[in-house]
Every structure is written in structure tokens, then in C-alpha cells.
Structure 1
Amino acid sequence: MDKVIDWSKIKAVVLDRDGVINHDSDAYIKSPEEWIPIAGSLAAIAKLNQGFKVAIATNQSGIGRGFYDELVLAQMHQKMADLLAKHHGHIDQIEFCPHHPDDGCECRKPNTLMLEKIARNFDLDPSEMVFIGDSKSDYESAQAFDCAFVLVLTGKGLQTLEKLAGKDIQIEKSLAKLVETIGN
């Protein structure tokens, strides 16, 4: 049974990036050219902008692994912003963890530092936020932060669904499909 979210109480939607907004790759997204939006995701964000703050919380260990640097990440995010603008959408805040998984940092999901920063920035309680992701670490971060979570089946979502079997979570095919259901 899927957990039901009371969207009337939600003020901010936090999105994982790779696998939720854009196509993911086991070889990492390393350049603006490799950053390709998932069909419907940008229009969905523009629709979310009409009722919610929209933020991103994304692990970007490709920086810590030396595959790209923060300048290239900024170029990827600029491409995303430019494409979103064509849909009259925007991202209100982006938080990212640039560290290697072995660095032991506080920001890497499943830790909650990125969610904490977003909540502080918008002056929100965790109960006023929902995190939309495709990975077990997204789910674990939302659980630790005590905010709602939606698993999308894009990206690594199908593999994650197997890992989270039996958990009481809301599941949607994609970000676009989720946004269609809000308010219905």
C-alpha cells in the first residue's frame, strides 16, 4: 500500500537530480552535453513552481572522483535553468554534495544536511517538505529528516523499488506522472 501525502500541507518539493529530472548514467553525467532531461520533467517542474518552492538535493560524487569540477556542474545547472525557462519554470535552490563517498562528509545523502539547508532557507518544518527521488539514499535521507518521500521509477527507481520492498512509500512512474496526480 502506498503512503498518501497531504499535498495541501506541502510548501517545498525537493528533487534528486540524476534519474528524476535528467537521465542518469552509471558512468556519471560529466558534461552539459550529457545532461538530458527526462521527457516531461521540465514541464512538471514549471507546474510545481505554481504552488511550491522547488529545490534540488543531489550527490555529485563525480566531482570528488575527478570526473568533472564545480565549473562543469554549474554549466550543467545553467543548461537545466535555460531549458526550464522555456517552460516558464525555475529551481529556487540547489544543494549538492561534491564529495567522494569515502570522504565521510555530512552532506552526502543519506545524511540530511542538504535537506536541512533547504528547510532553513525557506523557513520550513520537515512536515512541509516532500523529497522526490529514485534511490535508496534519497529515501533514507527523507526518513532521517522526517519529511515525506515519493519514489519515482525513472533512473534507478525500479532497482530501488526492489531494495525498498515492503516499505510504506508513495510510488510514481515519473516526476511528470506525479505532478499530474497532485491536487486530484
Structure 2
Amino acid sequence: MKQAVFLDRDGVINEVMSERVEFVNNVNDFYLLEGVASAIRSFNRAGFLVFVVTNQGGVGLGYMKEKQLEDIHKKMEVDLKAQGARIDDIAYCPHKPDEGCPCRKPKAYLLKKLAEKYDVDLSASIMVGDREPDILAGQKAGCQTVLVNSDSDDKFQANAHFTDLRAAVPWILTQKSEGKCQSSQTVLDNFRKQLEERFKKGYVIDSMSKVEEAANYWFCAGAEYGAWEERFFSKRPKNFTNVVPRNRY
């Protein structure tokens, strides 16, 4: 059976209740959160299936048509694909919050439906969300749960909690079975050593986002070892003096 990462959408993948968007009711309201594409790309490379499971009561309430929702999801997939990330499937509940349907989170229906379709082992999979209904849905499905981007002091008994999806990547990757991932401490120790060696040889990573992605890349032993140097490093010009801070990892 396969392992999956189930992602809530609003507040996990894209902005909601932010300075530039309140609710996502059309494609022009859709903005990926920083680091999300890199995180999903890491899950793809590690061998996880990646699903989006989302309550979209705005359809039932009349704020948008189902076709508009589909267009939003198409934009999400296109934006992620442009950065090398892939969503394997999307399941959503279009009903009103008080309609009493069987599919709205915190019920586990959406997760179980996808698990049946793709032969997923729910007990070895992870549900990531920013609100209690997401965590409860994951718990009811038998998944491990991760809380991100939450303003609540209550962690809802999630297995782990992080500031955002990107920060959750190392923990999630260590949950990968079949021996594909090393322990986080072993990988980080190796990563630090490799960084120091590259710096000594005059290599540089040109942005901190690349450092974070490189670290996540290293977390999975099956992630094309040997290719990471070419992917993340460039030779430092002779007059280049700024290097990535050593204490970042």
C-alpha cells in the first residue's frame, strides 16, 4: 500500500484572510503561500502521493459556482507545476457548513475515499491542516496529523505542529516508510558537512530558499543522490564574499 500526504487547501497551500485576499472565490484570489511548492516537490520526490482535501462551503452558500472552484484548482495545479510540484488528486466538499453532508471535514469521508481509490495506507499517511476540523478528520481516518499556520493555542492533539508547511517538511519526510528516509539527525549532520565542504571549494547557494530546499532534498535517501550539487550550487565568483550563514542548519 502507498503513503500519502493529505493537505487542507486554504491556509495551508494558499493565502486566506490575508492583506490581499479574504476568501478564495475566484482564480484572481488564489496566491500560493511561500515555500509550499518546494514542500510539495519534496513530498513528490520522497514517493508520497499528495492529495488536497478541502471544505468549500462557498459553493453551497452561493458565493461561487462549482466551475469557478474547478478553475481555482486548475490554477493551483498550474502554479505548482510551474515550480516542479504535483498534486495527485483533489477532493472537496461543496456543501453548506450546516447541511449535514457526509463529506465535510471533520468527517473523514474525503480521506477514506481517496485512500480507497489509490490503495493508500491511512495509518502510514499524514493529514496537514490549519484548523481543528482538519486534524479531527485526519485522526478519524487513522492518519498522523500535523497542524500548521495556526493562530490557536490549542494544538488539537496533533502529532506535530509547525509554523507553516515548509517547516513541516523534515518531520513529514522522516515518516516515509520502506527505508527511503534516514533519521533527521543523521541527515542534518551529513548535510552540514556537505555544505562546509562545498563552501571550502568555492561553491555558494544563491538564496536561503535554496538552502531550505537542499536540506529537504537531503532528507530522503531516494531523492537522486549526486544530483543535488548541480541543482542547488553554483561556483562562487572570485570576488564573491557573502556566504550562507553556517548556523542556519
TM-score (norm 1): 0.86
State the partner residue of 1:175: 165
CA RMSD in angstroms, aligned pairs only: 1.8
State the partner residue of 2:6: 14
Q: 1:69 aligns with which of 54, 65, 71?
A: 65
Amino acid at match of 1:40: G
Distance 2:140 2:117 in 1: 19
Alpha-carbon deviation of 1:164?
Answer: 3.5
State the partner residue of 1:85: 81
Distance 1:84 1:108 in 2: 25
State the partner residue of 2:94: 98
TM-score (norm 2): 0.65
Q: Which runs of 5+ in 1 are unaligned?
A: 1-8
Please say if residues 3 and 49 of structure 2, whose CA atoms lie closer than 8 Å, have aligned partners that are also in contact. yes
Alpha-carbon deviation of 1:87?
Answer: 1.3
Please say if residues 95 and 114 of structure 1, whose CA atoms lie closer than 8 Å, have aligned partners that are also in contact. yes
Amino acid at match of 1:82: V
Greater gyration radius: 2
Distance 1:40 1:168 in 2: 22
Percent identity, aligned pairs only, is 35
The verdict on how the C-alpha distance between 1:57 and 1:103 changes in structure 2, with shifts beyond 3 A counting, is same
Amino acid at match of 2:6: V
Residue 52 (structure 2) pairs with residue 56 (structure 1):
yes
Q: Which runs of 5+ in 2 are unaligned?
A: 175-183, 185-249
Residue 162 (structure 2) pairs with residue 163 (structure 1):
no
User: Alignment partner of 1:37: what SS?
Assistant: coil
Q: 1:24 aligns with which of 16, 33, 50?
A: 16
Which of structures 1 and 2 has the larger relative contact order (alpha carbons within 8 angstroms, sep 6+)? 1
Alpha-carbon deviation of 1:158?
Answer: 1.6
Alpha-carbon deviation of 1:10?
Answer: 7.3
User: Alignment partner of 1:57: what SS?
Assistant: strand
Alpha-carbon deviation of 1:90?
Answer: 1.1
State the partner residue of 2:40: 45
User: Alignment partner of 2:126: what SS?
Assistant: strand
Report the count of equivalent residues. 170
User: Alignment partner of 1:163: what SS?
Assistant: coil
Please say if residues 10 and 127 of structure 1, whose CA atoms lie closer than 8 Å, have aligned partners that are also in contact. no
Q: 1:126-148 deviations in whole A, cap 9, x for unaligned?
A: 21211000010011111111111
User: Alignment partner of 2:151: what SS?
Assistant: helix
Q: 1:66-86 deviations in whole A, cap 9, x for unaligned?
A: 000111111111111111111
Please say if residues 10 and 130 of structure 1, whose CA atoms lie closer than 8 Å, have aligned partners that are also in contact. no
Distance 1:163 1:69 in 2: 34
